[in-house]
């Protein structure tokens, strides 16, 4: 309240602090999170890095990826929901694989869920990813999904990982309850969904599975829009 100038990482955060009375209306400047486009860009997959993390080959599989803290304080990121949506896909499509990258104190809970759903041979937990490997890791994905929810002590501004994935030419799926939705421009580079609408989440994956052309168009636009808006 006492400072002269506030920068927010997204419009959602700016509106939040204004609605909560911390700032006067329209007094906050928004500068979206940005990506180092010299590092994060479309490119070839490095086989050594792919094998290092146990990621399936994109040539033979449709690879869904998510990345972030697998901690008990970050359950809003919805990895449990993603795993359950993936089960619906895996029942109908043999080629789909799920990669969950990152570390945290809730990893065992997610691994147990995968085991109970009979998905152990189709889900990869990479563990911690070396920072230098991140661009190559994203390039191993067909689509990136981080659909977070919002609540007291829960939620995102605009997370960096979908923006980095976009810059690498990977379409992204995000939630509509926080700043994540600002990563999507006119649905050209991905999709915005209700975090609790598992059917919609599944349909987005199936549309990309059914149309390599749609997947390519969204991939191309992801890289282009990252250059325009998140450089």
The whole-number pLDDT of residue 215 equals 97
- Residue 176's closest CA among 152, 205, 155, 204? 155
Average pLDDT of the segment spanning 117-140: 97
The whole-number pLDDT of residue 1 equals 81
∠ Cα 81 87 91 (to 5°): 160
Model confidence at 153, pLDDT cuts 50, 70, 90, reads: confident
The whole-number pLDDT of residue 229 equals 95
Model confidence at 178, pLDDT cuts 50, 70, 90, reads: very high
Q: Dihedral of CA 81/130/94/120: which sign?
A: negative
CB within 8 Å of 21: residues ≥ 6 apart: none
Task: Give CA separation, 152 vs 22, 38, 73, 149, 155, in Å.
Answer: 17, 37, 12, 10, 8
φ, ψ of residue 95 to 5 degrees: the values are -85, -10
Rounded CA separation 52/54 (Å) = 6
Per-residue pLDDT reduced to its tens digit, 8-53: 999 999 999 999 999 988 889 999 999 999 999 999 889 999 999 9
Task: Give CA separation, 117 vs 13, 74, 90, 132, in Å.
Answer: 36, 22, 11, 33
Tokens 């204004």, located at residue: 18
Rounded CA separation 30/51 (Å) = 40
Per-residue pLDDT at 195 exceeds 90: yes
The whole-number pLDDT of residue 50 equals 95
**Coil/strand/helix, residue 127:** strand
> In the chain, pLDDT over 90 holds for what percent of residues?
93
Average pLDDT of the segment spanning 201-206: 98
């Amino acid at each position: 309240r006492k400072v002269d100038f506030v920068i927010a990482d997204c419009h959602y955060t700016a509106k939040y602090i204004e609605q909560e009375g911390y700032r006067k209306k329209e007094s906050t400047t928004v500068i979206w999170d940005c990506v180092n486009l010299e590092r994060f860009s479309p490119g070839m997959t490095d086989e050594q890095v792919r094998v290092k993390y146990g990621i399936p080959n994109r040539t033979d599989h449709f690879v869904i990826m998510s990345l972030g803290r697998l901690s008990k304080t970050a359950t809003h990121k919805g990895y449990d929901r993603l795993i359950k949506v993936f089960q619906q896909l895996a029942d109908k499509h043999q080629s789909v694989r799920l990669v969950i990258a990152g570390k945290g104190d809730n990893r065992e809970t997610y691994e147990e869920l995968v085991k109970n759903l009979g998905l152990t041979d189709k889900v990869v937990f990479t563990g911690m990813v070396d920072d230098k490997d991140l661009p190559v890791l994203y390039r191993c994905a067909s689509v990136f999904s981080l659909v977070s929810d919002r609540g007291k002590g829960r939620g995102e501004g605009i997370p960096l990982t979908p923006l980095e994935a976009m810059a690498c030419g990977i379409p992204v799926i995000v939630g509509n309850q926080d700043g994540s939705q600002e990563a999507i421009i006119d649905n050209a580079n991905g999709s915005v969904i209700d975090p609790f609408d598992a059917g919609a989440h599944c349909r987005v994956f199936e549309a990309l599975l059914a149309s390599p052309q749609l997947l390519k168009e969204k991939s191309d636009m992801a890289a282009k829009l990252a250059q325009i808006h998140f450089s």
